[in-house]
């Protein structure tokens, strides 16, 4: 994930934390989950399968 996206995520989570809308624990877990799901291999970001196919098999 691009560094700018990581910075935006941190700023948004910090704003929620500062306003008391989430706890520090929730902030940390949310950061881990979001960063974990956004760091996907390129073929997932392009809508392609691992074999390079972009067709929906269903």
Domain ranges within the chain, ordered by starting residue: 3-44
| pLDDT at residue number 14 | 92
* pLDDT tens track for 6-37: 888 889 999 999 999 999 999 999 988 888 87
- pLDDT band for 58, please (50, 70, 90 cuts): very low
Max mean pLDDT among 2-6, 22-26, 50-54 falls in 22-26
As to burial, measured by CB atoms within 10 angstroms (0-12 exposed, 13-18 middle, 19+ buried), residue 48 is middle
Q: What contacts 17, CB < 8 A, 6 or more positions away?
A: 23, 24, 27
Q: Which residue has the higher pLDDT, 48 or 12?
A: 12
């Amino acid at each position: 994930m691009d560094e700018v996206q990581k910075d935006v995520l941190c700023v948004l989570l910090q704003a929620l934390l500062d306003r008391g809308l989430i706890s520090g624990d929730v902030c940390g877990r949310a950061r881990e989950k979001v960063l974990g799901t956004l760091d996907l291999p390129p073929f997932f970001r392009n809508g392609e399968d691992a074999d390079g196919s972009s067709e929906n098999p269903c």
